[in-house]
Chain A
């Protein structure tokens, strides 16, 4: 991505894009844990895509006769061959199938919420940083107010106001997250707009939006990518928390957070019903955090000293 863009800015000092990307990859490769995280994420994406193939049965199929079945119990006859590998929940639904399908919601929410964050935060941050003055003050004041709410509380209030559902979840997590992105982008733009290559583009008669899109933002990609990578697990965690509170995606859709909630009442008899989806959340969030950490070291050399 960044190579294509980098070719467009021959005026930029000290920019051999090939070399920078190679070193970034080398730095990333050194984090073995980040590579593990990467592999886990790739696997999760495949699981989500091929859920219908991988799941032993329909995740929403109920069979009250086999509710809270122990792992290994065979499926009711009408489902065909197979067994509840991880047992079943209080409605007799196959736990493994539900966990597999749950990955779809978690990943979807993680990615889409961050897309919304990008779509709101990047333009607002860029405008604030590039133009400064009143626009900047207005945007940043609003961002300050957003920061005044603890994230989850804000998401809870928005979900209550809008009503549960996946679209509202995207909106809520986007509204909660954009301010951080806007602040980050604004800071980057403030630094970059004073650089020579921006001055050069401006004197060549480039329009403002062209300068922002072609010259400034590509140079701010590193920190943006890091922030998105670390934002995805945040969104996944928020979705799980909201679903656990009954404010997320509505039943019977299989989501990890809701499954933990449903299993809570039966924790003594069938602990796996809550344990397994929680483990799934943890592994997913951990994988993204590991990759995010590695990317931060690789793409944001200034932050290197911290590690």
Chain B
């Protein structure tokens, strides 16, 4: 087991190197360079040259890359052009908000998705199944930022039930969590349905039924428990979607999370901030997937053998 975990962790290293390389390249193929792109057009050549030197942009790219990675490895992501504050610190301050948005959305998704998926699987090809397929697909097909706007319009502006923007307490999280959560509830319901159908056809479920075990017990103890194992992977895959989904959701609801600072950084062409947030998000995604892989192998020992 430990060997498996160690191997998975080691395999993550080249990926992280690749991620840092691509982030670095993307930020350096921008026409001109960060300083000229971010500076006022009226800035004189001397100022630009001084700033370039200050930021080390006059040195060879390879050296700049190694310096970037070396600093990033110890959490130093440079300083924001705009606020003049360390990028790492800014991200860390915004992180709890994103974790709250993504976490509460995931909770909503599981609470809605699993029961609906199970119900659809138990009544396969019935009206309920049909309706749940169409509903879930519609939710998956609707742009999350548009659903967010509709929710603001309905619950905030028309009914005046909930606040629609900013953050001053948990009540501000309800709309974002519902909007982002229902979208993932739809994927979770679809996967639960598929996985449940597969499990219900297994011999051990038939055996349990043949032994006269009550239907409720069969579903809860035998079927659902096993059907939820593949869901772990889905949850892992959705982490990426949840993170990008929170970029859009945070923007619409004006929540000060990592997604919002990413978009703001892009609007202000704040290079160190963009570089930092993109790298940070990708690293979180890689680590999250790694954890899911490992937890998957804990739940299902067959995985380790492969």
Contacts and interface: CB of A to CB of B under 8 A. Distances in A.
A152 B241 CA distance: 8
A44 to B, nearest CB: 13
Interface string A65-95: 0000000000000000000000000000000
B263 interface: yes
B162 to A, nearest CB: 15
Contacts of B194: 306-307
Interface in B186-234: 194, 197-198, 201
A153 B281 contact: yes
B244 A151 contact: yes
Contact of B153 (A141, A150, A271, A283): A271
Interface residues of A, number: 46
A282 B142 contact: yes
A11 to B, nearest CB: 32
A275 interface: yes
A251 interface: no
- What secondary structure prevails in chain B residues at the interface with A? helix
A161 B248 contact: no
A150 B285 CA distance: 7
A267 B149 contact: yes
User: Among the interface residues A150, A245, A274, A305, which one has the most CB atoms of the partner chain B within 10 A?
Assistant: A150
Contacts of B150: 275, 278
Contacts of B18: 141-142, 144-145, 148
Contacts of A268: 153, 157
A233 B141 contact: yes
Contacts of A264: 149, 252
Contacts of A150: 240-241, 243-244, 281-282, 285
- Judged by DSSP, the binding face of A is helix
Given A237-B143, A278-B149, A285-B141, A148 B198 contact: no
A145 B281 contact: no
Contacts of B22: 145, 149
A281 B244 contact: no
Given A148-B15, A150-B281, A306-B198, A286 B138 contact: yes
Given A144-B18, A305-B198, A152 B244 contact: yes
A173 interface: no
Smallest CB-CB A-B distances: 5 pairs:
A145-B18, A278-B146, A150-B240, A152-B244, A286-B141
Interface of B: 14-16, 18-19, 21-23, 26-27, 29-31, 133-134, 137-138, 140-143, 145-147, 149-150, 152-153, 157, 194, 197-198, 201, 240-241, 243-244, 247-248, 251-252, 262-263, 266-267, 274, 278, 281-282, 285-286
Given A156-B262, A267-B157, 15 more contacts: A145-B15, A149-B22, A150-B241, A150-B282, A153-B247, A153-B278, A158-B26, A237-B141, A241-B248, A245-B263, A260-B143, A267-B149, A278-B143, A281-B146, A305-B201
Interface of A: 33, 141-142, 144-145, 148-153, 156-158, 160-163, 233, 237, 240-241, 244-247, 257, 260, 264, 267-268, 271, 274-275, 278, 281-283, 285-286, 289-290, 293, 305-307
